[in-house]
Amino acid sequence: MAKEASVTERSNEALLWETLAAIAPGTELRDALERILRGRTGALIVVGHDDVVDKISTGGFPINIDFSATRLRELAKMDGGIVVSSGLEKIIGAAIQFVPDSSIETRESGTRHRTAERVAKQTGFPVISVSQSMQIIAVYVGGMRHVLEGSPAILSRAGQALQTLERYKKRLDEVTGSLSALEIEDLVTVRDVAQVLQRLEMVRRISEEISSYVVELGTDGRLIDLQLQELIGALGNDRELVIRDYLESARDGYPLEQADANLASLSNDDLIDISANARAVGFPVAGDALDALVTPRGYRLLSKVPRLPGAIIDRLVDHFGSLQAMLAADFDDLLTVDGVGESRARAVREGLSRLAESSILERYV
């Protein structure tokens, strides 16, 4: 049951963000909602239509006309709610009284908001409530409620989050650079790996927060999105590569997906704890285990070699078993790997040599 609840929560969260994207600044629905706010009439809008919506609807009249901001605004002047299609192509009905199941729990006090929350829970569709007295727009999806804010307030928070991300990214670059040098020297410990995974997770979380601001900002968030992509664009799948490099050192048969999910599920307090990060991917952490030496398989550094396909990287790792074995391999050894011809063997040798030189220089200069 707990797993089903978790899946439902994730589904509702995804639907909430889809809805927020549909009502972000620059969209026709947002234009309609702002017109309603300025007109001080209020509104109750169900975004979706099926038999359940029909069952709890009384009165009103069918319209089934093309959606537009001005039409929605004019229809909101009448008493009752409005039903629009999920894709916002049509306004299906207006002046409707919704009568949801009164036994559905609600935390709201006002009639319009109580109805909105119950309709959202009963139908599974997003419901938008525009408060006539409070002058706010609230979105209900399942048991979630989100109040829209103006762009200036969101932009302010997004700017602060970007500054935080810049600091996190700088620290991440430092620890990943250190890890590369230690991998070349074969001096990596569990602690070093856990620190990189910790910083990658921190960057991921603050990036997701900024991405949510970008969704809410719509056309007002273009510059924020550009700055975000500039900061995290080079990361690629570093998190997966680090886990794949050391997963066998952590625990045989420990699934990659499980390790990734464990990191994502760490609380903010646990994320600060290096031991918790190591434990999340299967490393033992008792006693001096954090200082135990581990050997990378080579996925992460090989991914930095230009124009080297993922399939070839997998074959190289399977053939040599570790990064150190690859570093020690000569040109002829590389040619014995299926799919590695002279040009690729040369690219691997030269690429790893350059990475080794640059990593050592960055660490000690």
112 is in an annotated binding site: yes
204 is in an annotated binding site: no
DSSP letters for 14-59: HHHHHHHHHTSTTSHHHHHHHHHHHHT--EEEEE--SHHHHHTEES
49 is in an annotated binding site: no
Amino acid type, 136 = I
19 is in an annotated binding site: no
| Burial of 214: CB neighbours in 10 Å, binned 0-12, 13-18, 19+ | buried
Beta pairing, strands 137-141 & 144-147? antiparallel
Tell which residue, 109, 111, 131, 150, has the closest CA to residue 43.
131
341 Cβ contact partners less than 8 Å away, ≥ 6 residues apart:
335
Q: How far apart are CA 198 and CA 206, in angstroms?
A: 13
35 is in an annotated binding site: no
Tell which residue, 208, 36, 45, has the closest CA to residue 140.
45
Q: How far apart are CA 287 and CA 121, in angstroms?
A: 49
113 is in an annotated binding site: yes
Inter-residue contact 81 to 99 (CB < 8 Å): no
Binding-site residues for ATP? 80, 111-115
Binding-site residues? 80, 111-115
